[in-house]
Amino acid sequence: MYRTNTCGELRMADAGKTVTLSGWVQRVRKLGGMTFIDLRDRYGITQIVTNNEIDGALNEAANHLGREYVAQVTGTVQERTAKNPNMPTGDIEIIADSIKVLNPSEVPPFTIEDDTDGGDELRMKYRYLDIRRAAVRKNLELRHRMTMEVRRYLDGLGFLEIETPMLVGSTPEGARDFVVPSRMNQGQFYALPQSPQTLKQLLMVAGIDRYFQIVKCFRDEDLRADRQPEFTQIDCEMSFIHQDDIINTFEGMAKHLFKEIRGIELTEPFQRMTWADAMKYYGSDKPDLRFGMEFVELMDTMKGHGFGVFDNAAYIGGINAKGAAHYTRKQLDQLTEFVKRSQIGAKGLVYARVGEDGTVKSSVDKFYDQDALQALRKKMNAEPGDLILIMSGDDAMKTRKQLCELRLEMGRQLGLRDKNKFACLWVVDFPMFEWSDEEQRLMAMHHPFTNPKAEDIPMLDSDPAAVRADAYDMVINGVEVGGGSIRIHDSKLQAKMFEILGFTPEKAQEQFGFLMNAFKYGAPPHGGLAYGLDRWVSLFAGLDSIRDCIAFPKNNSGRDVMLDAPAALDQKQLDELALAIVKPEKKEA
């Protein structure tokens, strides 16, 4: 046999036993006439010892081992003289009787250590080596534990795990599809699913009642830290429910995961906040509630004092950074430059410090006397030592989003975004539609199958932009970890929705006829939610990016640098698919 034990298993109770271990050589150290080998596998590291005085040939063989060699060691477990309290196996070592090289290794391109010397792109190119590092492997183990707990929780509530197809029809609403050409149906294309949305609704029509699936989804969109072109959803749907039933069920799942995975027991109901309030007080539909700094509108307080920037603004808002009056002029200038950067795009920043004596000093003192600044202090509920930061603009929504970025940055600088603290929230009552400048029409904010709130249905004819949706997102620490809605189950209402979205009856029938036809055969009231598994794992692991909780992720350009994908097809494949590649014209300089 290759091994009797793993490299993380042996303890003092095993002293005196003869064992065989197999794994990778982490490092080799020579000390006098002795050689120490750290042998590593998925389960841990065990120290192996050879002694030149006892067996010179064996000691020589140990000295010729290289990093990442695959080796088999047989020997006797004994208590270590110099114990290592930082290792689970740190009380013991193996006195080797034999060492066999199962496979040599070239010198790896980076060190297989927690603090590696490899950059992101290099580690992604050799991802199979990167996964040997405990830091990455632990994330994959965490992901496994979470999926097992999800299945256990949902199975206990009577959900059925059902697979849906990976090759589906293209849907124009939402993000761009990844498309797959069909050889047998030349000139026609499948799409990879952005989500199993319509299919899980059909399962409700089919009477499944409670469905879930841990499923791969695909979106051809620009990438960032919390996005990948392929990602994994915990996709769920239920019949004969209202919004509260969905929220209570999946809040229960969240609490179950916190308890079983993180050992945190959450007993209080999660806070609920309307989308309108989230945007008004935080400038985001996924506010981070680990800290305060809610927006305060200052139109009445700051207008009419001769400061043109404020007098001509459509919105003026401020945040109170508690205890930050110590910020230097240099730090405040850096904050001003931060909000002016292209991704934020603000024109500037006004600040006001509250001194220990209660007086207020501002960057626009010449326009505001102390009475006006004290009115500002009162409106902001600011105390001595606080720093008030104010932004304004021509567009209220845009300015609030800019102020949101400033709030998050201040939270970061003041150490208020603790990764071991969790603030859970439901954002509810989203708008049904949003205006698209590119399309010059209303678009579904979530998707066209979302049910309008019952009291807003009459406005579908008179003022559709004002209609709210039975939609909800779960937000934790400023990250949207899941979202869903109550679905339309009435074919007439669904047809009305397509009409508002600019679909002709013929176009709606062509693209979604299968769903609308199914509704004619007794669709139950239903709704659901999808959690982002990658985001949940990265949240629990304390990661800034979802990449390190995915076994083989893509880089920021959507490329798999290990497999060198995407790649060109050879001409034979193109001919079989009746495809021709049209090279884009080069733009003139």
516-530: burial string, b at 16+ Cβ within 10 Å, e else: bebbeeebebbbbbb
How far apart (Å, rounded) are the C-alpha atoms in residues 68 and 48?
15
Kindly report the CATH number assigned to the domain that includes residue 475: 3.30.930.10
Q: How high is the pLDDT of residue 13?
A: 97
**Does residue 401 share a domain with residue 431?**
no
**Does residue 23 share a domain with residue 98?**
yes
Whether residue 285 lies inside any domain: the answer is no
Whether residue 431 lies inside any domain: the answer is yes
Kindly report the CATH number assigned to the domain that includes residue 381: 3.30.1360.30
Tokens for 195, please give them: 């989500």
**Does residue 379 share a domain with residue 331?**
yes
Whether residue 277 lies inside any domain: the answer is no
Query: Tens-of-pLDDT digits for all 589 residues of the chain?
Result: 899 999 999 999 999 999 999 999 999 999 988 999 999 999 999 999 998 888 888 988 898 999 999 999 999 999 999 999 999 999 999 999 999 999 999 999 999 998 898 899 999 999 999 999 999 999 999 999 999 999 999 999 999 999 999 999 987 656 789 999 999 999 999 999 999 999 999 999 999 999 999 999 999 987 776 789 999 999 999 999 999 999 999 999 999 999 999 999 999 999 999 999 999 999 999 999 999 999 999 999 999 999 999 999 999 999 999 999 999 999 999 999 999 987 788 889 999 999 999 999 999 999 999 999 999 999 999 999 999 999 999 999 999 999 999 999 999 999 999 999 999 999 999 999 988 887 778 888 888 899 999 999 999 999 999 999 999 999 999 999 999 999 999 888 988 998 898 888 888 888 888 888 899 999 999 999 999 999 999 999 999 889 989 999 999 888 999 999 999 999 999 999 999 999 887 766 5
E strand intervals along 379-525:
387-393, 424-428, 433-436, 441-444, 471-476, 479-486
CA 460 to mean position of chain CA atoms:
34
Q: How high is the pLDDT of residue 55?
A: 84
The last residue of one of the domains, among 381, 413, 445, is 413
Give the dihedral of Cα atoms 125, 131, 133, 136; nearest 10 deg.
Answer: 110
Whole-model pTM above 0.85? yes
The last residue of one of the domains, among 392, 413, 434, is 413
Whether residue 180 lies inside any domain: the answer is yes
**Does residue 331 share a domain with residue 239?**
no
Whether residue 1 lies inside any domain: the answer is no
The secondary structure of residue 525, as a DSSP letter, is P
**Does residue 519 share a domain with residue 493?**
yes
Domain count, the chain: 3
The last residue of one of the domains, among 534, 549, 564, is 549
Q: Which amino acid is at 152?
A: R
Q: How high is the pLDDT of residue 172?
A: 63
Q: How high is the pLDDT of residue 446?
A: 85
**Does residue 63 share a domain with residue 38?**
yes
Q: How high is the pLDDT of residue 423?
A: 97
**Does residue 449 share a domain with residue 376?**
no
Which phi and psi angles does 377 have, rounded to 5°? Answer: -60, -45
**Does residue 314 share a domain with residue 267?**
no
Whether residue 186 lies inside any domain: the answer is yes
Kindly report the CATH number assigned to the domain that includes residue 33: 2.40.50.140
Domain range holding 90?
12-103
**Does residue 397 share a domain with residue 522?**
no
**Does residue 489 share a domain with residue 385?**
no
CB atoms closer than 10 angstroms to residue 541? 18
Q: How high is the pLDDT of residue 226?
A: 72
How far apart (Å, rounded) are the C-alpha atoms in residues 238 and 162?
13
213: which strand partners? 235
Whether residue 561 lies inside any domain: the answer is no
Q: How high is the pLDDT of residue 432?
A: 93
**Does residue 447 share a domain with residue 529?**
yes
Whether residue 117 lies inside any domain: the answer is no
| Alpha carbon separation from 497 to 332, 415, 457, 514, 531 (Å, rounded) | 49, 45, 11, 16, 25
**Does residue 223 share a domain with residue 146?**
yes
How far apart (Å, rounded) are the C-alpha atoms in residues 562 and 125?
4
